[in-house]
């Protein structure tokens, strides 16, 4: 859905940019390191990585009809 329009691609780039996919949070972090800041940044990065990985996977085709049967046991 995101890749079909220029606006969608721009939104996707912005969301992935917020996730800091290509940045290490510890390199320029002021000392002493605040663990809450690191956890927040890593949470943002984790969400962006999840969105990115979902984009790379082709979803499975949905079956046309139900393939399992339910048996009635009395």
**pLDDT (tens digit, 9 = 90+) per residue, 3-50?**
788 988 898 888 888 888 777 777 777 778 888 888 888 888 889 888
Give a yes or no: residue 48 inside a domain.
Answer: yes
Give a yes or no: residue 43 inside a domain.
Answer: yes
Residues 38-60: tens digit of each pLDDT: 888 888 888 988 888 888 877 67
Predicted TM-score (pTM) of the model is 0.60
Q: Any alpha helices (H) in the chain, and if so which ranges?
A: 6-18, 35-55
Give the residue numbers spanning the domain of 16.
Answer: 2-55
pLDDT band at 67 (very low <50, low <70, confident <90, very high): low
Give a yes or no: residue 68 inside a domain.
Answer: no
Give a yes or no: residue 7 inside a domain.
Answer: yes
Compute the CA torsion angle 17, 20, 22, 24 (nearest 10 deg). 160
Number of domains in the chain: 1
Region 48-73: mean pLDDT is: 75
């Amino acid at each position: 859905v995101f890749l079909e329009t220029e606006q969608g691609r721009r939104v996707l780039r912005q969301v992935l940019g917020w996730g800091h996919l290509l940045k290490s949070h510890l390199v320029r972090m002021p000392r002493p390191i605040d663990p809450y800041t690191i956890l927040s940044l890593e949470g943002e990065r984790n969400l962006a990585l999840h969105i990115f990985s979902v984009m790379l996977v082709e979803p499975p085709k949905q079956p046309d009809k139900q393939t399992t049967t339910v048996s009635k046991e009395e």
